Amino acid sequence: MKILNFGSLNIDYVYSVNHFAEKGETLSSESLEVFPGGKGLNQSIALSRAGGDVYHAGVIGTDGKFLGELLCDAGVDTRYLKVSEDVRTGNAVIQKDKNGDNCIILYGGANQAVTRETADQVLKNFDEGDCLVLQNEISEIPYIVEKARERGMQIVLNPSPMNEKIFEINLDHIDCFILNEVEARVLVRAARDAGKEILLKRLRKQFPHAEIILTLGEKGSVYAGTEGTAVQKAYKVKAVDTTAAGDTFTGYFMSCILQGKSVKESLDMAAKASAMAVAVKGAAPSIPKRDEAERFAEE
């Protein structure tokens, strides 16, 4: 089975601050670091490092060629990665506070230059049973979902960043949702204080044929789907940078599932890998290799 991640690639500008800037506040940063990033890139690296056969499709500008090289170094096939001379690579401005938490502003750039023609050229190389992984950072996602469904692909959606564009997608075509509580509340239009039990119940009712993985940050994650339910604890580490935690979890979980691991085994491996990721600076550089995650020992 081949895994196609049709996703974003960004250049991340990370500013270390004492606290997040508030309305009207001018804040001096303690440092600036530049890292490769983008939810698509991060998830492709996690998918590959967890042992998956991964192809990455997307668009970068000439300023982002090093991102393609990074994917190749991580074992990702980049034959479907397009370089555009007309637009800059997408980027993210990230505030990281002293606790390792972050606040992110995205500029789509080349990620918004994905066309239907590009999508058709990529998808014709994949068949029934192959897996498509998507986030919400590139253009033409509704079209990509429709065409992937026509080809019989399994479709996994991480609806992040969550905005109204998500509702342009035929969500009944999604086979697996991996999302956090904030994203889940928007998706099922629940109250801001709705807890995991309510969210899971409403997600299962709205998408009865889909697998649901709800991530809960330091409280772990829960699964509800065809294999019943499962609860996974979060492994405790000293957080340095949480930027790639969710992407690492998504990539590891899907890679393990597609390699035949059980839901509980996949959740546990994803939890270990994401714990390791938050203990290291940067997004893509923080994603561990499979053998490192397997050797992980909780503090």
Catalytic residue numbers, as ranges: 247
Specify the amino acid at residue 15: Y
Coil/strand/helix, residue 106 = strand
* Cα gap 177→258, rounded to integer Å: 15
Count other Cβ atoms within 10 Å, centred on residue 54: 28
Q: Name the pairing type of β-strands 102-107 and 90-96.
A: antiparallel
Inter-axis angle of helices 39-49 and 245-258, to 10 degrees? 40
Which candidate, 135, 125, 149, 116, places its Cα nearest to that of 180? 135
Q: For residues 40 and 132, is the Cβ–Cβ distance under 8 A?
A: no
Return the number of other C-beta atoms located less than 10 Å from residue 13's C-beta. Answer: 15
Whole-angstrom distance, CA of residue 108 vs CA of residue 89: 8
Name the H helices within the chain.
39-49, 65-73, 116-123, 141-150, 181-187, 196-206, 245-258, 263-278, 290-294
User: Cα dihedral angle (109, 42, 92, 67), rounded to 10 degrees?
Assistant: -60
